Structure 1
Amino acid sequence: MERVKALVFDVFGTVVDWREGIARDAAPFLARHGRPDLDPRAFADAWRKRYQPAMEECRAGRRPFTRLDVLHRENLENVLRDNGLDPARIGEAELDAMNRAWHRLDPWPEAVAGLTRLRRRYVLAPLSNGNVALLLNMAKRAAIPWDAILGAEVAGAYKPQPEAYLRTADILGIRPDELCLVAAHNGDLRAARQSGLATAFVLRRTEHGPDQATDLGPDEPWDVVAADFQDLARKLGC
């Protein structure tokens, strides 16, 4: 870690609590459209479940690189259909507003304070599959103290493609070994390490709710393992 000049962060699940944020907006949306019986957290889970398959179409070259806002919107319409709702009857404005729930996610309770400490020593930026507008709106609303906002379209690749990590280092003007990915997901860290980045695991035990069964601890000896961002700041001397 002595060589590291910048910290880049996975965002969904590591910086922000996507499940509760989506559920918060889904509850009134579903009630307005005749489905108050649907569990908003289950709705959030179903929407998120389509996230990786949608990006895989781009990674595999079956589809050109497509911004996450567009993929999220397509996935939203499919989840609505799965639950007996017709997107055409809901209307464009309401669909767009619900899709932008991803722009309004709240950080984990200690995240902003921890990032503020880390920023004293390191350049901070997201390394997310989110697009620039999404990450910008999220940061403005939640006062997330990024030094730069790099969305997936800046690198033109979705994690865990090596280009997502290597192009980010190049954009920041540093070597891969001068860049550290901070993430709550072992798979993301594994891909970053394979691309030459330093790695920091932060535990988010309830990202997928109280019954979460994955990423409950570090799978490998990452460069740093921390309980949260405040603990990470302490371990990095910030």
Structure 2
Amino acid sequence: MTAPLHHAGFFGFDVFGTVVDWRSGVARAARPFLQRYGIGVDPFAFADQWRALYQPAMEQVRTGARPWVRLDVLQRENLELLLARHGADVATLAEDELADLNRAWERLDPWPDAVAGLTRIRRRFPIGTVSNSHVAGMVQLARFGGLAWDAILGAEMAHDYKPQPQVYLKSADVAGVPPHRFVLVAAHNGDLRAARACGLRTVFVPRPLEHGPGQDTDLEAEDDWDLVAGDFLELADLLGCP
């Protein structure tokens, strides 16, 4: 184990993109909905477009332009906006089907290495989320994907969204460890930069298919993070986890 992580007290994981494949899961859920209502858009393009509304919606909260709301509220607003852009009369769509599609973010498959890697890391360190998602959504996602977290940390307890410092610092505080003993594992260099600025340790694990086969961002480490691993199984090896 590298020296900076030898005395780590907690490993926190970004979830969407780092632990789970959001794009495939959202496209899978969207496909029958789009077909049923005759909305002519490719399900993967729909997933990408929905995700593209994610950061602008959170920015409204981060800047104080609107009060704190949970991510499921933002996602539902974004879903209705996107459907309207594709010509759907949202008022005529079945509420139960809209609500179910919005819960697609709670039914996302882990990357192939994720469950086994997390299981090994958890044998040696406490692990949890550091996600922009709400707690209930993370609970359902964990149950769906078999993710055995010790704690669900992140945006809801801080009433703000990454990369705001309080999300990282509040997560470390609730985990009961100082920032320098809290490790963020993420597939996004920007997330790691923000965490490092708060004094957290950092691990980069690339997910080159997060945004599909044409992805051109976050393909490699862009800074000297404390550790870089090809996937969670390699990370477990590097950490000496049985």
TM-fit CA distance, 1:3: 2.3
Residue 151 of structure 1 and its aligned partner are, at CA, apart by: 4.4
Aligned 1:69-88 pairs, distance under 5 A: 69-88=72-91
1:6 corresponds to which residue? Answer: 10
Q: Are the aligned partners of 1:23 and 1:41 in contact in 2 as well (CA < 8 Å)?
A: yes
Give yes or no for the alignment of 1:163 onto 2:171.
no
**Normalising to structure 2: TM-score of the pair?**
0.97
Does the 8 Å contact 1:3/1:177 carry over to 2? no
Whichever residue aligns with residue 58 of structure 1, its letter is V
Structure 1 gaps of 5+ residues are: none
What's 2:136 paired with? 133
Spell out, residue by residue over 1:44-67, the C-alpha distance to the aligned partner (whole angstroms, 9 max, x if none).
Answer: 000000000000000000111110
Once the two structures are TM-superposed, the CA of residue 91 in structure 1 deviates from its matched residue by: 2.1
Identical counterparts, % of pairs: 58
* 1:23 paired residue among 27, 47, 64: 27
Structure 2 residue aligned with 1:38, among 18, 38, 41? 41
Question: SS at 2:172's partner residue?
Answer: helix
Which residue does the alignment assign to 1:58? Answer: 61
Contact 2:182 2:201 in 1 (8 A): yes
2:179–2:198 Cα contact (<8 Å) kept: yes
In 1, Cα distance between the equivalents of 2:111 and 2:21?
6
SS at match of 1:222: coil
Query: For residue 143 of structure 1, what is the amino acid of its counterpart?
Result: G
SS at match of 1:149: strand
Code of the aligned partner of 1:96: A
SS in 2 for 1:135: helix
Secondary structure of 2:28 counterpart: helix
SS of alignment partner, residue 44 of structure 2: helix
CA distance in 2, matches of 1:125, 1:63: 28
In structure 1, distance between residues paired with 2:238 and 2:6: 12
Question: Per-residue CA shift, 1:106-134, capped at 9, x if unaligned?
Answer: 10011000000000111100000000011
Aligned residues: 237
